[in-house]
Amino acid sequence: MSFPPVTDLIPHRPPFLFIDEIVSQTPDGLLARRTWRAEEDFYRGHYPGAPITPGVLLCEAVFQAAGCHLALKARAAGGPPGAGVPLIAKISDVRFRQPVYPGDTILLEVKEKDALGGFTMLGGSIKKADGTRVLNVDFSVAWKTPAGAPPA
3-state secondary structure 98-131: CCCCCCCEEEEEEEEEEEECCEEEEEEEEEECCC
Q: Which of 17, 20, 31, 46 does the annotation list as catalytic?
A: 46
Q: Which of 103, 105, 107, 72 is closest to 86 using CA atoms?
A: 72
46 is catalytic: yes
Contact criterion met (CB below 8 Å) for 128 and 106: yes
Would you name the residues annotated as active-site residues? 46
